[in-house]
Structure formats: C-alpha cells, structure tokens
C-alpha cells in the first residue's frame, strides 16, 4: 500500500483542508504515515500570513527533499506536493525556488489533487494550479469522517475585508459561503462518525450568508437540533459583522461560552490605518452584549503590535483596552510587512526592537489575564470533552466550555466522553482536575 505523509502549517482552516486532502488521497488507496522516509507522497500545507510562516515552507521542503532523494536512490518514486496559501501567493516562483517540488496546488483547487498526481506520474511534467475556479472544491471532495470527538467544519472561506496588512484576501480569494444543506449534511456525517463538538470555520465566519438560512445565528440554531452533537463553536468572527441574532445563540446549551473576536489594536487611528471597520467603543459594546447573554463568556482576541505609525500612545491604548476587556486567551504578533499589501508600503515602519518590546509588554499583561481566568475556575465543576491522550500515562486531555485545556486522570473516562471535572489546579496555559 502506498503511503502519505502530511505536514500542516497555519490556521485551523489549513488543518481542516489537510483533513479533506487526506480523505481525497485515502480514497485513492493511500495510507497515512508519520514517517516521511516511508512515504510515497510528502504533502506540505503552507501558510503565508507572516514572513516567518512563509519561510518555514522552504526549510521544510529542504528537509523532505532529502527523504525524496534517498528514496529515489532506492528506486522508490516519491512526490512532494505543496498546498496552501504560499502556493497562491508565490505561484510558479515556488517551482523555481524549490526544484524538488512535483505539484503545487492552491487552496481552492484541492479537488484536483487526484488528477494532478496522475498527470505528474504519467506525463512527468511538474504541475501547478493556483486558480479561483468557478466551481466549489467542496462539491467534489469526498465525504469526511470525524478524526476525533472535536472536529472542524469549514462553512465560509475567503475574505473581502482587505485589512491593509493581510494577505488572506489574495491567497484565499473572495468571500464564499457554503449552502446550509451541505453544512448540515457534513455536520450529521461528522456526528455519525464520532464528533461530539464541531467548530465552524471561516475567515469571517460571522459574515456567513449561505443559501438556506438567514444568517449564522439561524444556521447554528439548526445545527443544535442534530442529535448527538453536544457542543458548537465558531471562529473567526469579524467585530463589525457581529449581530444580536448570533450573540443570542449563546443562550443555548450547546453553544459554548467562548468567542474569538480579534480587535488587533486599541487605538482608533491604528484601526483606521489597518482598514478595520469598527472603533474601539463599538468593539467594547459588542463584548458587553455577549456578556449580557452569558456573563461568564470567555473572550479571546488577536493583536498586532508595531503597525506602521503606531506611537507609544497608540500602544498604551491597546494595553488600556486589554485591561478593560479582560481576555481569557489571545494571540499576539509583531507586524510583518507582507508583499503586495498596502501596509508594507506605508511610511513610519516601526523598528524591530520597538516591536519586540511592545510585544513583550502586551504578552505579559495577556498572560496575567489568562492565568487569572484559569485560576478563577479552580474549585469549580466543569464539563470537559476528552479529545487526546495526555503526556503522562493514564492521563487524558480535554477542553472546558471556555476552551481551557484540562488534564484529567481517570481509569473509567475514555476519549470522546464529556466528563464532569472538579478543577484542582491551574497554570497560565492549562488546568488539571478530577473526574467526579
């Protein structure tokens, strides 16, 4: 049996895409392996969001090319396939830069993989597709199966917001929402094959406007009717697209009290330069509305520090905003100038040293808040969905409704169970507790 090795970089959408590519290749008779030296196909799914992410690809290709050369010396045909956002961004430049690559396939073309592999093997010519085709790849990919009790389901892709620093509108294309019927069918299939929790994915998930439901709020209500599905989440939401219809679904038992709502910066001048379509006050109003429906709502965000022109005073406003909101978790990054984006050409680029200092200060504050959020759950009883084996023997890792990673030890609990846990310990990054 031929073997397939997959390495995934980037966001949850890439994790989902890798799972769908795996489904497509398993249907051709491949079997997945964790060992690159025994793989007939080495697949790398790439991310272009920041410079570091993009550069990782080229070092990864170098690593995998060594396996390919060694295998070929033993007479074993081996293909390197590169998928994802770097393919869309770099196009045929990627094939020039990386001669070991056999196939490069952009994010909207994964359904063409079987055909591209056949062509590469028969015709021997290197293959690249990085189009935005009229047909949707979702209509051609095989049915998916739950890989664990918590699954991703892409409902919306692409972005029309054009934040001035971001490559996603160029790499993923314009906004597309899948029809409600397809999403419901995929969710049912995931639940039939073991999913207890579904995380709906989209670059602007709350702007979903597919056929068959009025908005994301109605779609979530319909998904909640699926028997066996116990938890629903969705990410990433764009602040100005948030509506009361969506906020109100958090009153439902199956919808988790957690929202990832990236603000990026706490200064209106910087938000404007970023082309984000909201003010700090509007953002805080949305947070307050979530907390009206669920006072215990966990709020999470992304931040960028050192955006061109960001003054010390602007940055202080980000810290002040964080102090007011009180985040349960977060991701924060130094601004990275990406080719082709307006922000990369802006004057007043911030020196690396200043970016590093700001990032450290912001992360210190955010870590403190995350720790405080975790600490206040100690002594409480929370439901934990167990999804992975823990590092220690007999230990399992699961997630609370607030998406806190929680280690539990129990001989009775199994992966896929939702167990009631008394939280006994906490750190900045995780909790521990006992099944009761």
- For binding to ligand SAH (CB under 6 A), which residues are involved? 49-50, 165-166, 168, 203-204, 236, 238, 262, 264, 302, 304, 333, 335-336, 338
Shortest Å, Cβ 17 to ligand F3S: 8
Total residues found in the chain within this entry: 436
CB 128 within 8 A of CB 46: no
Shortest Å, Cβ 128 to ligand F3S: 17
Contact between 171 and ligand F3S (CB under 6 A)?
A: yes
CB 341 within 8 A of CB 165: yes
Question: Taking the chain, what is the end-to-end CA distance rounded to the nearest angstrom?
Answer: 45
| 251-to-6, 222, 255, 283, 308 alpha-carbon distances in Å | 39, 14, 7, 20, 40
Residues near ligand SF4, by CB under 6 A: 159, 161-163, 166, 168-169, 203-204, 238
Contact between 267 and ligand F3S (CB under 6 A)?
A: no
Burial class of residue 392, CB neighbours in 10 A (0-12, 13-18, 19+): exposed
SS3 per residue for 209-268: CCCCCCCHHHHHHHHHCCCCCCEEEEECCCHHHCCHHHHHHHHCCCECCEEECCCECCCH
Q: Which does 304 bind (CB under 5 to 8 A by kind): ligand F3S, ligand SF4, ligand SAH, none?
A: ligand SAH
Using CB under 6 A, count the residues that bind ligand F3S.
13
Q: Greatest CA span in the chain, whole angstroms?
A: 65
Residue closer to ligand SAH by CB (options 203, 318) is 203
Owner of token pair 């209106």: 268
**Applying CB under 6 A, which of residues 85, 100, 359, 396 lies at the interface with ligand F3S?**
85
Shortest Å, Cβ 401 to ligand SF4: 25
Query: Two tokens at 246?
Result: 């969506």
Beta strand segments in 73-161, E: 79-84, 103-105, 127-129, 150-154, 156-157
Shortest Å, Cβ 238 to ligand F3S: 14
Q: Please list the residues that pair with 46 across neighbouring strands.
A: 84
Shortest Å, Cβ 337 to ligand SAH: 7
Contact between 168 and ligand F3S (CB under 6 A)?
A: yes
Q: Which does 16 bind (CB under 5 to 8 A by kind): ligand SF4, ligand F3S, ligand SAH, none?
A: none
Residue closer to ligand SF4 by CB (options 161, 189) is 161
Alpha helices, H only, 130-212: 168-171, 180-192
Shortest Å, Cβ 380 to ligand F3S: 34
Residues 9-68 that bind ligand F3S (CB under 6 A): 10-11, 13-14, 47-49
Contact between 325 and ligand F3S (CB under 6 A)?
A: no
Q: Which does 248 bind (CB under 5 to 8 A by kind): ligand F3S, ligand SF4, ligand SAH, none?
A: none
- Which residues bind to ligand F3S, rule: CB under 6 A? 10-11, 13-14, 47-49, 84-85, 167-168, 171-172
């Amino acid at each position: 049996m031929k073997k397939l090795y997959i390495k995934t970089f980037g966001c949850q959408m890439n994790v989902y895409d890798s799972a769908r590519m795996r489904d497509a290749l398993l249907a051709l008779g491949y079997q997945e392996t964790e060992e690159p030296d025994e793989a007939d196909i080495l697949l790398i799914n790439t991310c272009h969001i920041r410079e570091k992410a993009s550069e990782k690809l080229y070092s990864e290709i170098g690593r995998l090319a060594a396996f390919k050369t060694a295998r070929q010396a033993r007479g074993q045909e081996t293909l390197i396939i590169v998928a994802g956002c770097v393919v869309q961004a770099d196009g045929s430049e990627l094939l020039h830069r990386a001669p070991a690559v056999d196939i490069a396939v952009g994010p909207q073309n994964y359904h063409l993989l079987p055909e591209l592999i056949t062509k590469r093997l028969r015709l021997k010519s290197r293959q690249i597709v990085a189009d935005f085709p009229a047909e949707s790849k979702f209509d051609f990919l095989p049915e998916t199966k739950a890989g664990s009790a918590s699954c991703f389901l892409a409902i919306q892709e692409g972005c029309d917001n054009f934040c001035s620093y971001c490559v996603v509108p160029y790499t993923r294309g314009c906004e597309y929402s899948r029809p409600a019927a397809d999403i419901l069918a995929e969710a049912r299939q995931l639940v039939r094959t073991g999913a207890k929790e579904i995380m709906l994915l989209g670059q602007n998930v709350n702007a979903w406007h597919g056929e068959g439901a009025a908005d994301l709020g109605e779609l979530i209500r319909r998904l909640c009717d699926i028997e066996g599905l116990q938890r629903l989440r969705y990410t990433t939401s764009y602040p100005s697209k948030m509506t009361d219809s969506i906020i109100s679904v958090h009153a439902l038992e199956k919808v988790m009290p957690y929202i990832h709502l990236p603000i990026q910066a706490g200064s209106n001048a910087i938000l404007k330069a970023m082309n984000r379509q909201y003010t700090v006050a509007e953002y805080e109003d949305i947070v307050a509305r979530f907390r009206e429906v669920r006072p215990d709502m966990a709020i999470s965000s992304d931040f960028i520090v050192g955006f061109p022109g960001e003054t010390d005073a602007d940055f202080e406003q980000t810290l002040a905003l964080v102090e007011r909101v009180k985040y349960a978790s977060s991701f924060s990054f130094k601004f990275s100038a990406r080719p082709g984006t307006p922000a990369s050409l802006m004057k007043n680029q911030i020196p690396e040293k200043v970016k590093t200092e700001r990032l450290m200060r912001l992360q210190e504050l955010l870590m403190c808040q995350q720790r405080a959020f975790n600490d206040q759950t100690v002594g409480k009883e929370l439901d934990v969905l167990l999804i992975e084996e823990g590092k220690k023997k007999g230990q399992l890792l699961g997630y609370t409704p607030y998406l806190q990673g929680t280690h539990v030890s129990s001989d009775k609990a199994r992966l896929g169970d939702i167990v009631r846990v008394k939280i006994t310990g906490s750190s900045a990054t995780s909790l521990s507790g006992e099944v009761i």
